[in-house]
Chain A
């Protein structure tokens, strides 16, 4: 289908984009890679009067290190995240999760910022961003502010972004030397996660020193499995210890029932996939 008509502008700086967004009013929409938005427009599930394209803003693309933080521009594509050596070294969890997103064509266009701003509860990059304690930098008419990932995701497709704000950077504290795995459960290739688990671990000798675990699609927002993380600290990096800790994965969750899975099955998946993700991460 063909989208309904809209005006289009492609500013070349963040300041121009923020101004254009404010001037265009509440029916305007930002377009990043378009890989979530264009399908929505084609099905006429949304009909913005104006699109503000971030695709020509060079300052929003690219990855750099800033002290102990990896700074990823919002318009950095999934493809570039997958291949960036700094991401592999300091935020391996983000790389391995990005490897599972969609297909090569979508990864050439889709962006980290777009995925995070879209905040689809089944999206695969929210849990890694949460697990890595990332911060999101938002830029509006009044300047910049920084929001922690745990405060950024508010509800289904709803974030802390105000109507005049753009997501400009994802700031990830370096997790250098942490192993990682993203375990995704979906029925067929190229399908969204029914449940998935993001896990990253720092081991010392054969012992787990620190662990971060977050769950995809177990709530309207990504969820940290703190009980699992705590149960792992000081444990040997063995399959038995991991299996025991993973039993806590669904604690405190009440995932919804839909045509793919009901609440109890999602909770079961969370435990099983947490065990698999951690086992793969530590190589046990």
Chain B
């Protein structure tokens, strides 16, 4: 089947098999390997992308289902060589160790902040409950999301990229 889809601002038209998962389309057909696969059971959230502005697990969507849609992956967040404020906050707060969960964590964090621009710790943990991290113990991920929220006021979502960049402070030392 032929699908046309806009990924990170570029429009692609491709012939796909109905059984191809969106994550395989992104990684193998168009080379967006920033989005990763961490499980076989739709549990880990590592594959999270935005589909028409909402976070989804791209391993649990068929490529044919996104015909005509717009997708944002972690590769589409930086602007003019500057990290998205949530990416920057993950860096600043040491919110990753091996980094495998990070693309999904960042995409889901942006979704969370679009719905709730000032989440408390509990709201961050709930908002990220579909994303598993085997390394960090989550503490610094929660810090990073709240840090990003403060820096991105009055809100995240599509407008976040336009927010002033703040210089990063030292990593670690928490």
B18 at the interface (CB under 8 A from A): yes
Contact B45 A34 (CB under 8 A): no
A–B Cβ pairs within 8 angstroms, 21 of them: A2-B19, A2-B20, A5-B17, A5-B18, A8-B18, A8-B62, A35-B42, A38-B59, A39-B41, A51-B18, A51-B62, A53-B65, A55-B65, A104-B130, A105-B48, A105-B111, A106-B57, A106-B60, A109-B57, A109-B60, A190-B43
A98 to chain B, nearest CB (A): 14
State the CA gap A39–B112 with chains docked (Å).
Answer: 24
A104 and B40 contacting across the interface, CB-CB below 8 Å: no
Complex contacts, B24 vs chain A, CB 8 Å: 2
Q: State the CA gap A66–B134 with chains docked (Å).
A: 49
Given the complex of chains A and B, what is the CA–CA distance between A51 and B42 in angstroms? 19
B40 contacts A105, C-beta separation under 8 Å: no
Q: A108 and B56 in contact (CB under 8 A), knowing A38-B42, A39-B41, A103-B45?
A: yes
Chain B residues with CB under 8 A of A35: 42, 60
- Residue of A whose beta carbon sits closest to that of B53: A108
Closest 3 CB pairs of A and B: A103-B130, A8-B18, A108-B54
Q: Is the CB of A190 within 8 A of B129?
A: yes
Give chain A residues whose Cβ lies under 8 Å from the Cβ of B131. 103
Complex Cα–Cα for A6 and B18 (A): 7
**Alpha-carbon distance A55/B66, docked complex (angstroms):** 10
B contact set with A: CB distance below 8 Å: 1, 17-21, 24, 40-43, 45, 48, 51, 54-57, 59-62, 64-65, 108, 111-112, 127, 129-131
Question: How many Å lie between the Cα of A43 and that of B65 in the bound state?
Answer: 19
* A-B pair number, CB within 8 angstroms: 84
Expressed in whole angstroms, the minimum distance between the Cβ of A50 and any Cβ of chain B is 9
Option from B18, B21, B42 in Cβ contact (under 8 Å) with A106: B42
The distance in angstroms between the C-alpha atoms of A35 and B17, with both chains bound, is 19
A4 at the interface (CB under 8 A from B): yes
A42 contacts partner chain B, Cβ-Cβ < 8 Å:
yes
* Contact (Cβ within 8 A) B65 A105: no
Given contacts A38-B62, A104-B127, contact A7 B108 (CB under 8 A): no
How far apart sit A69 and B56, CA to CA, in the bound complex (Å)? 31
Contact indicator B18/A38 (Cβ below 8 Å): no
Known contacts A38-B60, A39-B42, A190-B43; is-contact A108 B55 (Cβ 8 Å)? yes
